[in-house]
């Protein structure tokens, strides 16, 4: 389950330090609008308050991605919340009817967001991380479909679980496959023994526009001792996301 900032205590797990480099991406973009909906955010319909927010907003460009699959790059920007204006995500992509109002807000960390190209999907996705002030991140995937920006979710929740970075509690990795992607997770083996150990699971997801269908979850390894886990699954130790299908500047 994904953590919402300020909603409940941050998940913790086995007291083992993270090794490797954590991929940290910033947050996205743009035009402020009326707050509507919940969960992954909502598309804002232009109104008087929307235009007032846009007039006073200072969007930050975070990446360029071919959101509509026409072969040209579109600007993607993030606007932090300010006053009565919520944080929002926007783009220069042709045909966009409204920006996306976000229900979370953190100032961009300075690193660019990442464009992800899923084989078989028309248009790039944008990956960004919502960073937790006490350590950890929530990964979000955004796409453009039917004239709108939207977050890819499963049952109105982000595809990925919250990941703590001060301890190795729920490591994840994601790779693109034809028509979607696979998410691999490390879970603390139960019952807990004297020596920490992990079970490894893999779940497939099919992507159609911004719709995501969760497939079968299979166990690929059982009771892997921590020292062996770190050697055999380095992508999990560093929480590697879409390293095989990122596009543009890295």
What pLDDT digit, counting tens, does each position of 164-174 carry? Answer: 888 888 999 99
What the block records as the tokens of 133 is: 């002030």
Higher pLDDT, 243 or 78: 243
Which of 35-49, 136-150, 185-199 has the lowest average pLDDT? 35-49
The structure's pTM equals 0.76
106 pLDDT band, cuts 50/70/90, is: low
Percent of the chain residues topping a pLDDT of 70: 74
**Model confidence at 54, in pLDDT bands (50, 70, 90)?**
low
d(C-alpha 73, C-alpha 141), whole Å: 18
SS3 234: helix
Mean pLDDT of all residues in 225-239: 96
| Mean per-residue pLDDT over the chain, rounded | 80
pLDDT band at 97 (very low <50, low <70, confident <90, very high): confident
Kindly report the number of other CB atoms within 10 A of residue 161's CB atom.
Answer: 19
Looking from the CA of 138 toward its CB, the CA atoms found within 13 Å total 23
- The pLDDT of 34-43, averaged and rounded, is 44
Helix, strand, coil % in the chain, rounded to nearest 5:
10, 40, 55
The radius of gyration of the chain from alpha carbons, rounded to an integer in Å, stands at: 18
Start-to-end Cα distance in the chain = 28
């Amino acid at each position: 389950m994904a953590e919402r900032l300020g909603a409940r205590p941050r998940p913790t797990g086995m007291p083992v330090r993270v090794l490797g480099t954590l991929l940290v991406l910033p947050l996205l973009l743009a035009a402020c609008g009326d707050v509507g909906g919940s969960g992954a955010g909502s598309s804002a319909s232009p109104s008087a308050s929307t235009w007032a927010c846009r007039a006073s907003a200072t969007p930050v460009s975070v990446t360029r991605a071919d959101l509509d699959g026409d072969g040209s790059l579109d600007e993607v920007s993030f606007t932090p919340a300010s006053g009565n204006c919520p944080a929002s995500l926007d783009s220069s992509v042709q045909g966009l009817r409204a920006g996306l109002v976000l229900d979370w807000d953190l100032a961009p960390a300075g690193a660019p967001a990442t464009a992800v190209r899923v084989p078989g999907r028309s248009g790039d996705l944008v990956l960004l991380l919502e960073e937790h002030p006490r350590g950890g991140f929530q990964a979000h995937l955004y796409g453009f479909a039917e004239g709108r920006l939207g977050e890819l979710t499963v049952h109105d929740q982000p595809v990925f679980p919250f990941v703590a970075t001060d301890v190795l509690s729920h490591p994840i990795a994601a790779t693109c496959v034809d028509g979607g992607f696979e998410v691999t997770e490390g879970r603390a083996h139960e019952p807990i023994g004297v020596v920490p150990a992990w079970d490894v699971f893999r779940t497939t997801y099919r992507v159609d526009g911004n719709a995501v269908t969760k497939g079968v979850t299979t166990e690929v390894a059982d009771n892997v001792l921590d020292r062996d886990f770190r050697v055999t699954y380095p992508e999990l130790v560093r929480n590697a996301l879409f390293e095989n299908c990122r596009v543009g500047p890295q």
